[in-house]
Amino acid sequence: MSPAPDDLAALRREIDSIDEQLHDLLMRRGEVVSEIGRRKAVDGQVTFRPAREAQLLHRLLARHRGDLSHTSVVRLWREIIAASIRIQGQLTVGYCPIEGHGSALRLANGHFGLDTPTQRFESASHVVSAVHRGEVSVGLVPLPEAADAPGWWGDIRDASDVYVVARLPWFDDAAATSGGASVGALVLARGVPEESGDDRSLLMFTCPMPVSRARVGEVCSDTGLAVAAQAVTDDLHADDARIHIVELDGFIDADDDRIQAVAVTLEASNVRLLGAFARPYAPAGATGDK
């Protein structure tokens, strides 16, 4: 039996009331964000905090119930977060082609909001330089590939204040539903990354002679570092040298003694903690628990 017209009218009035309450809360949230922005400006703090954002979304998804999908919750809050960042200060996103000209822009819009200014660069090296010079607030670059080809990470060595701070997409519902991997990117920014509580770290170093991925994994394991992925490329600044990018489980501090232990054992140079990022969220299903 279909609801009576009076019943539908009552439900619609309730939705109108809920919408007004949501709007009131959003306006109040904007006021609080503005105050936070003023205090950050005084202290010189950054407005983009991906670890804090991941913690917020983890908390919301953990408490979520009902028919509204997790995807919808994340999309709504990503726009709210992006709007909050813009209230606190200007944020510009640089990107380069990643598996096609449209993929990086879709990642940028999906994570930083449709209204956030973007700037396209021809290569990842140009993105690194733009972040380093302050031309853009953050930059999107391709994920390190496990292939013997020069990558952007060779260029970041001269940009000591630039770090990997996030990995996109943080919430990948397309990969979860299709069973395949989607296009991804790393986010670069100036400033040391923060710990979210569920992280991956990136270690970069140069070896003067060929070292297998198996050997790198073995040395890391012996020091208590768990390797999640690796990439290797030629070092264009030194003959016969190879640059290794090692993705490690957990948040690793730059002063961690295990990093030096790995470097000594592998006779590595130019050792640098490239950054860290909140581990992407793996949705168990398309909808919340009822």
Q: What is the DSSP string of 67-90?
A: SSBHHHHHHHHHHHHHHHHHHHS-
Q: Is 270 helix (H, G, I), strand (E, B) or coil?
A: strand
pTM, 2 dp: 0.88
CA 166 to chain centre: 2
Per-residue pLDDT of the chain (290 residues; tens, 9 = 90+): 566 677 899 999 999 999 999 999 999 999 999 998 888 776 656 678 999 999 999 999 999 999 999 999 999 999 999 999 888 888 899 999 887 557 899 999 999 998 899 999 999 999 999 999 999 999 999 998 745 556 788 788 888 899 999 999 999 766 544 555 568 999 999 989 999 999 999 999 999 888 999 999 999 999 999 999 999 888 877 777 889 999 999 999 989 999 999 999 999 999 999 999 999 998 765 444 43
Distances (CA, A) of 142 to 106, 186, 199: 13, 6, 19
In the chain, the domains with their CATH numbers are: 12-86 (1.20.59.10), 90-190 (3.40.190.10), 199-278 (3.30.70.260)
Q: Is 257 helix (H, G, I), strand (E, B) or coil?
A: helix
